[in-house]
Amino acid sequence: MVDPKKKKEENEDEEDLEDLIIEEDEEISEEEAEQFVKSIADRLYVQDQVIEGQKKIIEKYEKQIHQLSNPPSSLKIALSQEETSYSDIGGLDSVLEKIKHFEYGIDCPYAYSSYGIDPPKGLLMYGPPGTGKTMIAKAMSNELGCWFLELPLSLIISKYVGEAEQNLEAAINSARKKYHQTERKVMLFVDEAEQMFRKKGSHNGHEVVDRCVNVWLRTMDGMGNNEGLIFVAATNYLEKIDDALLRAGRFDYVVEIPKPNLAGVEDIFVKQMRMKEEKANREIYQLTNSEGLSEMMYACRMTGADIANVLKQASFNQIQYFMQSSAMGKPMCKEELMIRDKDLIAVIDLYDRVKEEKKFVGFNV
């Protein structure tokens, strides 16, 4: 049956066209002819615009449908089995104790239920950059024998409406699938969590963040199937995190990861040197006063990442001497290849000067 509304629209279109039709023998002025050509051109232009607009809408929907059924491949790649262990982490013994309490809730939830309470649902670590938050998350996933899936913000924070939530949901779904396929739990790790969990309305119109927060709330509240998922997040700015995410049953286990004290610096320094020597399978450091070096690094208020970078920079300098002396036909002997106190002092001094001048923050080589 003919839709009367459609019929009416067609009639209106025909009437519009009739205005433009000129009989063959009809005399028209130049001005009228120009007007006629212009109105046809305008009409074609409008039609082209409408078609272009429709094409864009179709492309957008096709992309969204594709993403729903195929999570971005880099999300799949990010699933890993980590090798970092708790014994590599220095200066955080009391923090690691707290982290182990969170693990009890995953390994033995009945220990909690026997006291009539629920185990913590999600772990949120906060503290200055470079203190070892990501390292702890990786070591924890290794300890628990689970998969590690870092949710990359670049894929999730998107300017296209709907895309961010879909990416996030696709990632969570692929984690669930991995758990069911392999019967190994999956740790969902959100680094720089203040970006994904920013307080609602605090982000100058990025409503996408609000919607991502809602996806998390829905997921953590168990409206999806939470079995096999471990929620861990890290931030440098606890105050920017939306309070709704910190309530019971969400990221309800909050642990501070501080900068190391002097003993912590010493511990990290020793562990970092050991890790490098194990990796290189040779002795690298020949130090006479490692305590003095630790004191110098502590005086600069260095983090674990800074200490790792001091060692990296010292190696970098040695490689340069080595290449230069080889080029001059005087290869360095084994003794000269060692890193000594003076080599590290030079780098720590440089770090201190650079920090004073506030030239660069990361001190990354």
Ligand X SMILES: Nc1ncnc2c1ncn2[C@@H]1O[C@H](COP(=O)(O)OP(=O)(O)O)[C@@H](O)[C@H]1O
> What does the binding site for Mg ion look like in residue numbers (CB under 5 A)?
133-134, 191
133 lines the binding site for ligand X (CB under 6 A): yes
Q: Could you tell me the smallest distance in angstroms from the CB atom of residue 93 to ligand X?
A: 10
Residue type, 128: P
CA dist 262 to 146, 259, 304, 328, Å? 33, 10, 12, 42
89 lines the binding site for ligand X (CB under 6 A): yes
CA distance 79 to 81: 7
Nearest-CB residue to ligand X?
304
131 lines the binding site for ligand X (CB under 6 A): yes
- Identify which range of 54-62, 166-174, 215-223, 265-273 contacts ligand X by CB under 6 A: 265-273
Site for ligand X in 306-335 (CB under 6 A): 308
* Dihedral pair phi/psi, residue 33, rounded to 5°: -60, -45
229 lines the binding site for ligand X (CB under 6 A): no
Taking the mean position of all CA atoms in its chain, how far away is CA 85? 21
Residues 6+ apart with CB under 8 A from 127: 133, 236, 256, 257, 258, 259
134 lines the binding site for ligand X (CB under 6 A): yes
CA dist 276 to 69, 269, 297, 319, Å? 43, 11, 18, 15
Q: Could you tell me the smallest distance in angstroms from the CB atom of residue 271 to ligand X?
A: 5
- Contact assessment for residue 196 and residue 190, using Cβ atoms and an 8 Å cutoff: yes
91 lines the binding site for ligand X (CB under 6 A): yes
302 lines the binding site for ligand X (CB under 6 A): no
Q: How many residues bind ligand X (CB under 6 A)?
A: 18
Of 300, 304, 314, 347, the one binding ligand X by CB under 6 A: 304
Of 71, 90, 119, 122, the one binding ligand X by CB under 6 A: 90
90 binds, among ligand X, Mg ion, none (CB under 5 to 8 A by kind): ligand X
Query: In sequence order, what E strands does the chain have?
Result: 79-80, 122-126, 147-150, 186-190, 229-235, 253-256, 285-286, 339-340
Which of residues 89 and 348 has its CB atom nearest to Mg ion in the complex? 89
Q: Could you tell me the smallest distance in angstroms from the CB atom of residue 153 to ligand X?
A: 14
Q: Which among 126, 130, 117 is positioned nearest to 297, based on CA atoms?
A: 130
Q: Could you tell me the smallest distance in angstroms from the CB atom of residue 133 to Mg ion?
A: 5
- Identify which range of 65-73, 131-139, 176-184, 217-225 contacts ligand X by CB under 6 A: 131-139
Of 130, 245, 250, 273, the one binding ligand X by CB under 6 A: 130
Q: Which residues of 10-27 are buried (b: 16+ CB within 10 A; e: fewer)?
A: eeeeeeeeeeeeeeeeee
Q: Could you tell me the smallest distance in angstroms from the CB atom of residue 131 to ligand X?
A: 4
105 lines the binding site for ligand X (CB under 6 A): no
Which of residues 89 and 347 has its CB atom nearest to ligand X in the complex? 89
Contacts 24+ apart (CB under 8 A), 222-228: 224/172, 224/176, 225/176, 227/176, 227/179, 228/175, 228/176, 228/179, 228/180, 228/184, 228/185, 228/186
- Identify which range of 86-94, 205-213, 225-233, 242-250 contacts ligand X by CB under 6 A: 86-94
Interacting residue ranges for ligand X, rule: CB under 6 A = 89-92, 129-135, 234, 268, 271-272, 304-305, 308
